[in-house]
Amino acid sequence: MTRTTARITHLRAAGVSFVVELGDPLPRVLHWGEDLGELTGDDLAALGLTADGVVLNNAPDDARRFTVWPTEADGWTGTPAHQGHRGGVATTPRPRLTGAREGDGELVLELADEVSGLDLTLTYRLEPSGVLTVRTDITRPLRAAGEDATAGQDPAPYDLAAVTTLLPLPARAGEILDFTGKWCRERAPQRGSLAYGSHVREVRRGRPGQDAPHLLTVGVPGFGFRSGEVWGLHVAWSGNQRWLAERSPEGAGVHGSVLGGGELLAPGEIRLAPGDSYSAPLCCFVWSGEGLDGLADRFHSLLRARPAHPASPRPLTLNTWEAVYFDHRLDRLLDLTDRAAAIGVERLVLDDGWFSGRRDDTAGLGDWTVDATVWPDGLGPLADRVHGHGMEFGLWVEPEMVNLDSTLAAEHPDWILGPSVGLGGSSRHQYVLNVAHPDAWAYLLKSLDTLISRYGIDYLKWDHNRDLNEGVARGAGGRDRPGVHAQTEGVYRLLDALKERHPALEIESCSSGGARVDLGVLARTDRVWASDCNDPVERQAVQRWTGQLLPPELIGAHVGGPRSHTTGRVTDESFRYLTALFGHAGIEDDLTARTPEELDRLGRWVALYKEVRALLHSGRVVRADLDDDSTLLHGVVAEDGGAALYCWARTATSAPAQAGRTRLPGLDPAARYEVRVRDEAGLPALHQVSGPAWFTAALSGWVPLPGAVLAGAGVPLPTLDPAQALLLEVRRV
């Protein structure tokens, strides 16, 4: 294949290099990873010169290349960049580069494919955080301006089967980490070797799910939180998805394997007529030479740099769910509100149960008006009391869902997403509303808009409690069309429209606790409810791994009652407090059942949260690599390194009697520090007689300890009883 001498583009940011050779017929990525420094034209040419591998025996006669749009035309036998057909033909795309422009950290490639008749635009943006975002836009163009739209064109739509955004990885990346999970055990890590073949994660729930891949990471074997070279991918999309890491014996050009992602499209879901277009989900690729903390740091920086990132101190929240469930009695809720205000709560959220017919979870979804029997005077008396205390008022909604036992379902059965032959089974007694239906969408916007305006709602807890099984939009004569893509876009439009009308409104992505945690929904929401599980033993893990993508201020973390409602485990107050402290903290408990002493202690914790949230919500998240899986040491270090908070936690007993010298991650070994124990949230029960000596001293004040000891040699940490945690504060002197 003839190829011209190519121009080479080099994007650099925050220690990352991305080098693309703008060759003919297609560009290829020469390098994505560690910063290669300031490269001259000759240096870049040398990179290009060394970008071809060997011609293998019994193989294509040109060295295989891995391009930005890999197809079979290159001899590529892995997952192609796109698949589709036009009425059964045009199945072998062969795009060519038609234009390229670069500037301001961005490289835009224009490709045209005569076979499929599609124009493709790839936008690579290396963000200041070092995260490389890739946007893919596909258009089926109108052939000539001014002509009849379809003149001269095959009128059959182009059925887009799959679009996968792919980037190459070096052969040394041989270990894979991603996530799975279930309700109340979200983001459970799974790790193993990157074997030959495809590691594919397909999400068919119409939401990322409790078992979402979350962040697909491949690294040099042995990578940890603090060290190792790692490459990761997040697909920023809330509908169906496909993520993969793929390794073949002949590699991908000179690279060893590939990382890719996109939307999982149903057959026939995207059919492009002339003039139509499709945008694939934004794929966020991230590299770090500093382990998983390095990856997390880049994502946190990316998110914090957004103009709409929540900037105000994250209000201490009380959510009513585990306090009252469906028992909505005004006097009880007013009492709860008063007690919340007295201990310093700043936002009160009225959870499920307030709307028409909603006395339990079998009825009412869809009828977004206040239940007149339970709330004869509307929500005003509660909203006014909340606002009167200077608190924000939040309300639970689940706009995308409907119970068959509702006025909405009775009046608009055609608005329900599901096949014409009859709806399938319910889930949590509910079905999905077709948000892409213009009338359903308009109804939701009007209902929510009215509520927000009437009650001065500051915050919506936006739930979504079921998968989108058989997510088809009903059509005349049984011509049902796949609807998950349109549903996802419809929800995004709804969120955007509400934010536009109410710029100060904050929205939480809840979804059964943690089933819609993605950067697509977070582009228009302000935090996630990470899990319905408030049991701190479980929560330590859920928050740790949710934090792999999201900074603490976006992760809702609430203190529950002594006995967890979801696991039945009883835990000490201080462990619950310290676990919830490291997120956007709140309370999920019936304060009317707490003694004055308990409320007093809760108030001290609230004050502690308010004192330290500026640090927790702006600093770098650090996690120590420990041999003992039953212990966790994590913290947040201020950007300037001058202050830090650490949580030393034990979830279970373990064989080692003591941790021994342990390094506090993220500190400067050359700096001088002092350390103290913070006891406002209580102190842990210890599984030891006494010591270590520095800890005993730090219980009553600052203890000077140099960085050489804290971050270099390490300090012995006390042995905690199971389900206990300790809070350490460090500051530079």
State which residue, 294 or 583, has the beta carbon closest to ligand DGJ.
583
Among 262, 513, 547, 692, binds ligand DGJ (CB under 6 A): 513
- Classify 499 as helix, strand or coil: helix
* Inter-residue contact 585 to 557 (CB < 8 Å): yes
731: region left, alpha or beta (phi > 0 left; psi from -120 to 50 alpha): beta
In this structure, what token pair is assigned to residue 544? Answer: 């740790």
66 part of the interface to ligand DGJ, by CB under 6 A: no
CB nearer ligand DGJ, residue 184 or residue 440: 184
Give residues 567-626 in contact with ligand DGJ (rule: CB under 6 A). Answer: none
> How many chain residues are in contact with ligand DGJ, going by CB under 6 A?
11
Residue 127: what residue type?
Answer: E
Closer Cβ to ligand DGJ, 124 or 529, answer by number? 529
- In total, the chain counts a number of residues equal to 733
178 touches ligand DGJ by CB under 6 A: no
Give the residue, chosen from 463, 535, 589, 729, that forms a contact with ligand DGJ under the rule CB under 6 A: 463
Cβ nearer to ligand DGJ, comparing 32 with 529? 529
User: Nearer Cβ to ligand DGJ, position 97 or 350?
Assistant: 350
- Any contact of residue 396 with ligand DGJ (CB under 6 A)? yes
Q: Contact region for ligand DGJ (CB under 6 A) — 202-210, 372-380, 506-514, 684-692?
A: 506-514
* Residue among 368 and 396 whose Cβ is closer to ligand DGJ: 396
As a whole number of angstroms, the distance between CA 279 and CA 262 comes to: 10
Q: Considering only residues 158, 278, 321, 393, which one is a binding residue for ligand DGJ as defined by CB under 6 A?
A: 321
Q: Which are the contacts of 466, defined by CB distance < 8 A and separation ≥ 6?
A: 401, 427, 428, 430, 431, 432, 512
CB of residue 274 vs ligand DGJ: minimum separation in angstroms?
A: 44
Question: Between 130 and 353, whose beta carbon lies closer to ligand DGJ?
Answer: 353
- The piece of 97-105, 173-181, 201-209, 505-513 that touches ligand DGJ (CB under 6 A) is 505-513
Write the burial class of residue 716 (CB in 10 Å: 0-12 exposed, 13-18 middle, 19+ buried). Answer: middle
- Nearest Cα neighbor of 180 from 208, 213, 203, 205 is 213
We find the least distance from the C-beta atom of residue 511 to ligand DGJ, in angstroms, to be: 7
For ligand DGJ, give the closer residue by CB, 556 or 619: 556
Spacing of C-alpha 95 from chain mean position: 33
User: 609 φ, ψ to 5°?
Assistant: -55, -45
Q: In the set 127, 186, 211, 351, which binds ligand DGJ (CB under 6 A)?
A: 351
Which is closer to ligand DGJ, CB of 21 or CB of 351? 351
Candidate list 409, 510, 537, 720; residue touching ligand DGJ; CB under 6 A: 510
Cα separation, 277 vs 671, in Å, equals: 55
139/546 with CB nearer ligand DGJ: 546
Catalytic residues: 463, 532
- Tell me the closest approach of the beta carbon of residue 403 to ligand DGJ, in angstroms: 12
Is 376 in contact with 360 (CB distance < 8 Å)?
A: no
CB 661, CB 684: distance < 8 Å? no
Closest approach, Cβ 531 to ligand DGJ, in A, equals 8
In angstroms, give the least distance from the CB of 423 to ligand DGJ: 21
Query: Minimum CB separation from ligand DGJ for residue 386, in Å?
Result: 18
512 binds ligand DGJ (CB under 6 A): yes
- Any residues with CB less than 8 A from the CB of 315 and at least 6 apart, and which? 346, 347, 391, 392
Q: Per rule CB under 6 A, is residue 400 in the interface with ligand DGJ?
A: no
Ordered DSSP codes for 482-497? E-HHHHHHHHHHHHHH
Question: CA torsion, points 569, 325, 510, 567, in degrees to nearest 10?
Answer: 10
User: Binding to ligand DGJ by residue 354, rule CB under 6 A?
Assistant: no
Nearest residue to 347 (alpha-carbon basis) of 458, 269, 204? 458
| Least distance CB 512 / ligand DGJ (angstroms) | 5
Identify which range of 132-140, 510-518, 549-557, 697-705 contacts ligand DGJ by CB under 6 A.
510-518
Minimum CB distance to ligand DGJ, residue 725 (Å): 23
- Exposed, middle or buried, 39 (CB in 10 Å: 0-12/13-18/19+)? middle
Nearer to ligand DGJ, 405 or 674 (CB): 405
Nearer to ligand DGJ, 352 or 458 (CB): 352
Q: Which of 625, 664, 662 is nearest to 641 (CA)?
A: 664
Q: Where in 142-252 does DSSP place strands (E)?
A: 158-163, 165-169, 175-182, 185-193, 197-203, 216-219, 230-236, 241-252
Q: How far apart are CA 305 and CA 303, in angstroms?
A: 5
**Residue 352 binds ligand DGJ, judged by CB under 6 A:** yes
Residue 496: CB atoms within 10 A of its CB come to 12
Q: Which two tokens stand for residue 1?
A: 């294949």
Give me the residue whose beta carbon is nearest to ligand DGJ. Answer: 352
Residue type, 581: L
Draw the binding track, 527-556, toward ligand DGJ (x: CB under 6 A; -: no contact): --x--x------------------------
Nearest to 299 by CA among 28, 27, 592, 555: 555
Residue 465 engages ligand DGJ in binding (rule: CB under 6 A): yes
Q: What is the rounded distance in angstroms from the CA atom of residue 208 to the CA atom of residue 518?
A: 7
Report the candidate in 633, 541, 622, 547 with the shortest Cα–Cα distance to residue 226: 622
Query: Residue 325 CB, nearest distance to ligand DGJ (Å)?
Result: 8
* Binding span for ligand DGJ by CB under 6 A among 156-164, 187-195, 508-516, 630-638: 508-516
Residue 88's Cβ-count burial label (10 Å; 0-12, 13-18, 19+) is exposed
Q: Which helix (H) or strand (E) holds 132?
A: strand 132-139
Question: What is the nearest approach in angstroms of ligand DGJ to the Cβ of residue 327?
Answer: 13
CB of 495 to ligand DGJ, least distance (A): 18
Stretch that binds ligand DGJ, among 45-53, 205-213, 507-515, 694-702 (CB under 6 A): 507-515
**CA 301, CA 519: separation in Å to the nearest integer?**
13
For the beta carbon of residue 301, count every other beta carbon within 10 angstroms.
Answer: 18
Least distance to ligand DGJ, CB of residue 561, Å: 14
* Binding-site ranges for ligand DGJ (CB under 6 A): 321, 351-352, 396, 463, 465, 510, 512-513, 529, 532
